[in-house]
Amino acid sequence: MSSQELVTLNVGGKIFTTRFSTIKQFPASRLARMLDGRDQEFKMVGGQIFVDRDGDLFSFILDFLRTHQLLLPTDFSDYLRLQREALFYELHSLVDLLNPYLLQPRPALVEVHFLSRNTQAFFRVFGSCSKTIEMLTGRITVFTEQPSAPTWNGNFFPPQMTLLPLPPQRPSYHDLVFQCGSDSTTDNQTGVRYVSIKPDNRKLANGTNVLGLLIDTLLKEGFHLVSTRTVSSEDKTECYSFERIKSPEVLIMNETPKPETIIIPEQSQIKK
């Protein structure tokens, strides 16, 4: 094979060498016009055609040109970005092959880690969809007991406990943490944490009750409990896994027929 039959592409810094005939598999594509010099966006640099696009995704583009098949890894998830690249190269056959992947429903996953230790309970919620975590963050409120300042009004009134509302902590976009109960190592009852989950207005300090309310909230949001397991045998952390499959939205053109107009002639025009 002579060097004149080969072409080298630099796509986003990644180098690909293939046959001219492979790039020209689809004559109407932008890649074919690139070789013919009909597309000014692609420049020859150091004997290589430079393409300012995603080099990792181009490997799937090139494989499609070679085999006319779409073979993707089992853990591949960048369907939308790959279709965007296919549109850029004007490979409409590849765009059509990717459409079914984009229409497949994607399950939303949630894991609730629960640890009960003495009179305290600790929660950590992981979500594959950040919107689910945002929803739970907006509904969950942690109330901590704080002593108010003592007052003097002729007589001494001891400090009273007030509840200070706090949102759960967000270590990342995909998880949140909170706790409830009291620290049994302290002599007094200060520092008790209560949890409320909207629309329920109760303030709960018992971890088991909070867990039940959290599970009920997820079930009402369309999640299904798929498994339970013990994460660690040492601290007996329990893990509850949930899944929700949302069907893709289907856009239907509004074809509501216009009401028929019935013209009734005037009485003077009706022949007897």
Whether 33 is in a domain gets the answer yes
Whether 49 is in a domain gets the answer yes
CA distance 230 to 251: 43
- Whether 98 and 135 share a structural domain: no
- Whether 13 and 92 share a structural domain: yes
- Whether 96 and 112 share a structural domain: no
- pLDDT of 119 above 60: yes
Whether 250 is in a domain gets the answer no
- Whether 112 and 198 share a structural domain: yes
CA distance 50 to 12: 8
Strand pairing report for 6-11 and 48-51: parallel
Mean pLDDT along residues 172-178: 91
Whether 65 is in a domain gets the answer yes
Whether 202 is in a domain gets the answer yes
Of the listed ranges 62-71, 203-212, 230-239, the least confidently predicted one is: 230-239
Mean pLDDT along residues 102-130: 87
- Whether 42 and 114 share a structural domain: no
Mean pLDDT along residues 217-241: 88
Q: Which residue has the higher pLDDT, 156 or 4?
A: 4
- 162, 146 in Cβ contact below 8 A? yes
CA distance 64 to 94: 8
- Whether 87 and 140 share a structural domain: no
- pLDDT of 154 above 80: no
- Whether 93 and 181 share a structural domain: no
Mean pLDDT along residues 107-114: 91
Q: Which residue has the higher pLDDT, 101 or 115?
A: 115
pLDDT band at 46; cut points 50, 70, 90: confident
CA distance 91 to 6: 21
Find the domain containing 76 and state its range.
6-102
Q: What single string gives the DSSP state of each residue in 137-175?
A: HHHEEEEEEEEPPPEESSSEEPPPEEEEEEPPEEEETTE
- Whether 136 and 187 share a structural domain: yes
- Whether 77 and 120 share a structural domain: no
- pLDDT of 250 above 50: no
Half-sphere exposure of 239 (CA within 13 A, CB side): 13
CA dihedral sign, ordered 208, 214, 215, 216: positive
Q: What is the pLDDT of residue 255?
A: 42
CA dihedral sign, ordered 14, 97, 93, 88: negative
Strand pairing partners for 245?
Answer: 107
Three-state DSSP state, 272:
coil
Global pTM value: 0.53
CA dihedral sign, ordered 48, 49, 52, 58: negative
Q: What is the pLDDT of residue 4?
A: 67
CA nearest 142: which of 177, 104, 185, 189?
177
Of the listed ranges 146-160, 223-237, 257-271, the least confidently predicted one is: 257-271
- pLDDT of 165 above 70: yes
Whether 53 is in a domain gets the answer yes
Q: Which residue has the higher pLDDT, 104 or 57?
A: 57
Q: What is the pLDDT of residue 189?
A: 47
Three-state DSSP state, 100:
helix
Report the run of H or E that residue 14 belongs to, with start and end: strand 14-19
Share of residues in the chain with pLDDT > 70 (%): 80
pLDDT band at 133; cut points 50, 70, 90: very high
Whether 21 is in a domain gets the answer yes
Strand ranges (DSSP E) for 101-258? 107-117, 120-127, 140-147, 151-152, 156-157, 161-166, 169-172, 175-181, 193-197, 224-232, 237-245
pLDDT band at 236; cut points 50, 70, 90: confident
Q: What is the pLDDT of residue 173?
A: 84
Mean pLDDT along residues 105-117: 88
Q: What is the pLDDT of residue 151?
A: 59
Tens of pLDDT, residues 52-101? 999 999 999 999 999 998 888 876 778 889 999 999 999 999 999 888 87
Domain with residue 12: its CATH number is 3.30.710.10
- Whether 38 and 119 share a structural domain: no
Whether 269 is in a domain gets the answer no
- Whether 131 and 34 share a structural domain: no
- The count of domains in the chain is 2
Mean pLDDT along residues 146-169: 72
- Whether 97 and 113 share a structural domain: no
